[in-house]
Amino acid sequence: MNGIFGIFLRDGARVQQSSLAAMRSAMAYWGRDGGDVWLEGCAGLGQLRTFATVESVHERLPAFDAASGCAFTAQGRLDNREELIRQTGFDGDNSQLSDAELMRRAYLCWGEEAPNRIFGDWSLAAWHPSERRLFLARDHLGSAGIYYHCSPHLFAFASDRRALLALDLKQTQLDELFLAKLLLPWRDFHDERTVHSTIRRLPPAHCLTVTSDSQASRLYWRLEDVPEIRFARREDYVEAFRELFTDAVRQRLREPSDWGRVACMLSGGLDSGSVTATAAGLVRPVGRRIAAFTSAPAHDTTSFFRDGLGDELPDARATAEFAGNVDLVPITASMSSPIAAIRRQLATTNEPMRASGNVYWMLDLYREAQERGYRVLLSGQAGNAGSSWQGDFFSQPLSVQLRHLGVRGVLGRGLLRGRQQFLDLTPRRWLAAWLDWRGREGPFWMRSPIHPDLVRRLDLVSLWLEQGKGKLWMPPLQTRYWIVRPGKSFAASQLAELGAPYGLDVRDPTADVRMLSFAFGVPDELFTEPSTGQDRWLIRELTRDLLPDRVRLKIRQGYQSGDIVQRLRADAVETETALRELEGGPAGALLDVRFMRKIWCAVQDVGRTDTVGAAIMVLLRGLAVGLFVNAFHSVGEKGLPPPTSL
């Protein structure tokens, strides 16, 4: 995936070439195949290129259109390319028309209404010098990120925050509330905030207009506005879903054929399995094969997980063998320790990740894909609330609920809803006092490495309750929105940032906006098969001829970091060193290092097999935040140096 960047001096001063050069240099690995800048007066735009489609080799942005007086830059890949070619009236040789150039033509046609017509993974910027107006926009679900800094004198943006930090922004401080939300079981850390107080994210499905004296953002699309879909038969939903899902995978199989091929990230589950099997089916007629990279444990996980849930390799192998043209590549990450991987991730993205327990195998997977010559990597990260949503039994008629749950089960679920209604009516200050009284044993900060003093200083209990957290039950559609976080989530763009140093364009068919909109429009009762009570009915029907039954009908999900405890024990010196760094640095003011040490002692106890969750949610998440905080105070405002090698 390409990257973009730019500067607008709001006080009218002239942008220096050196400023754009500093930004370009800071995010250089986004431009393995070159890049360009455009500079005039108080504004400058840039693009860095890593070819990821056949047409992208013809890309030459930024570009200035004399007729409209607009300078434009963009990056990304389109899902509705053919549709946009027709709608924009392009009648030339479209084999040399890059997706970013097509976005430019769409913007010239529709102006600020263009983002709602452009589907795919993209971001764009348009500068109107006569009005001294800059317009930014980002794709519907946030697969391509934009960071920005805004002050009275300067506005700057980039796909990589390192480019902004290269401008020596003054008074950059840590955003403690962002870090606190990251440490807690709290999904509201997904919004425009970043760990840097003076840097913001442009949220998904948003556009931003900046002038000399104003700044205004606008949400241009809402998943919540998707209408419910009603078909006559269940089979009609499957056929419509199959068409959309297959097209979502097909659009993401576009590749720079002279440079690399498409590979998949494959677990033992339905989401990545359906993506991999569909991709294999699409390339099979032309005699091609698909590589599938699977995280595999380097240690035996049977003492930590029952029924083989700690090792997804057997199910991934079954998916590959069933497809017939999938080459499975196990990734054991045996040479990569969890702590060293976290340090490398922090140096890549300049921000801690909540999924710090998965970083070691993800980075090793990216490295292996790069070494084998791949430039496109398909994933299935966004499926849980969309394509493979499980459904809620309360959406079924009472007779179906009783048949599969029994009287006790139905009454138990009803009691849960009743308790939630009681809590909704309870004054927040009473709940806050109760949670504070329960302390560490309560549901609020249990299994969190956050320092209790930080909880009190930021009044996090009240904020947590005010934002509706701690729900015992939510209606199914609300639960799905809570998982996807439309208009807020930055999970997809984090994967893109992690892939950039490896020259990888990470694409997720389960995050296709048209397919996801359809899935959210399907009535909840359709996700459960009433005669059998089987959940995830839609994806299971879709994959009836694509996946083996051991995967298609699997009830429980597996774990991709199943041997994390053994890995930490094997690298005990690194873990101990990292904990000592936290104890001796400023991170100790934000983290309960004593509690983290308690978890570390439990992890080292070979007689215990119940420490996987605590190792990930307390120890590794706390270490990721703590190592970043210490490094931030050590290196200052320019950010962590990039990895010296990959």
Least confident of 73-77, 124-128, 164-168, 436-440: 436-440
Alpha carbons 618 and 450: distance in angstroms, whole number: 9
- Taking alpha carbons only, the member of 269, 375, 339 closest to residue 621 is 339
- Taking alpha carbons only, the member of 18, 7, 158 closest to residue 639 is 158
When pLDDT is cut at 50, 70 and 90, the band that residue 1 belongs to is confident
Tokens of 240: 């419509």
Alpha carbons 403 and 532: distance in angstroms, whole number: 10
- Bigger pLDDT: 402 vs 81: 81
Tokens of 247: 């097209």
Alpha helical stretches, state H, 388-466: 398-425, 428-438, 452-457, 460-466
Locate tokens 């401080």: which residue?
173
* Mean of pLDDT values over 366-371: 95
Backbone angles phi, psi at 380, to 5 degrees: -140, 45
When pLDDT is cut at 50, 70 and 90, the band that residue 258 belongs to is very low
Identify the helix (H) or strand (E) that includes residue 477: helix 476-484
Q: Which strands, in side-by-side order, build the sheet including 43-48?
A: 35-40, 43-48, 3-9, 154-158, 147-150, 200-201
- Taking alpha carbons only, the member of 318, 332, 329 closest to residue 265 is 329
Alpha carbons 551 and 571: distance in angstroms, whole number: 33
Can you spell out the DSSP letters for 444-455?
TTTT--B-HHHH
pLDDT digits (tens, 9 = 90+) for 379-411: 998 888 999 999 988 888 888 777 777 888 777
DSSP 184: T
> H helices then E strands: how many in the chain?
24, 17
> Distance of CA 639 to CAs 129, 348, 495, 610, 614, Å?
32, 10, 19, 37, 29
Coil, strand, or helix at residue 215? strand
Least confident of 137-146, 165-174, 348-357, 590-599: 165-174
Give percent above pLDDT 70 in the chain: 91
User: Residue 612: is its pLDDT beyond 80?
Assistant: yes
Bridge partners of residue 293, in order along the sequence: 265, 329
Q: Is the dihedral of CA 384, 386, 388, 393 positive or negative?
A: positive
When pLDDT is cut at 50, 70 and 90, the band that residue 256 belongs to is confident
pLDDT of the residue at 396: 83
Tokens of 220: 């241009």
The answer to whether the peptide bond before residue 475 is cis (omega within 30 degrees of 0) is: no
CB atoms within 10 A of CB 572: 12
When pLDDT is cut at 50, 70 and 90, the band that residue 555 belongs to is confident
Burial class (CB in 10 A: 0-12, 13-18, 19+), 279: buried
> Distance of CA 39 to CAs 3, 14, 59, 275, Å?
17, 9, 18, 42
Q: Is the dihedral of CA 487, 476, 183, 363 positive or negative?
A: negative
pLDDT of the residue at 451: 92
Alpha carbons 160 and 25: distance in angstroms, whole number: 11
User: Residue 177: is its pLDDT beyond 70?
Assistant: yes
Alpha carbons 258 and 127: distance in angstroms, whole number: 34
Q: Please check whether residue 100 is in contact with residue 61, taking contact to mean a CB–CB distance below 8 angstroms.
A: yes
Locate tokens 């994933």: which residue?
379
Coil, strand, or helix at residue 292? strand
pLDDT digits (tens, 9 = 90+) for 415-462: 767 766 666 666 666 666 666 655 544 444 557 899 988 988 998 877
Identify the helix (H) or strand (E) that includes residue 138: strand 133-138
pLDDT digits (tens, 9 = 90+) for 296-325: 999 999 999 887 789 999 999 999 999 999
Tokens of 431: 């709940």
Burial class (CB in 10 A: 0-12, 13-18, 19+), 75: buried
pLDDT digits (tens, 9 = 90+) for 91-138: 888 888 999 999 999 999 999 999 999 999 999 999 999 999 999 999
Length of the chain: 646
Alpha carbons 279 and 546: distance in angstroms, whole number: 10
Locate tokens 């029924």: which residue?
307
* Whole-number average pLDDT of the chain: 90
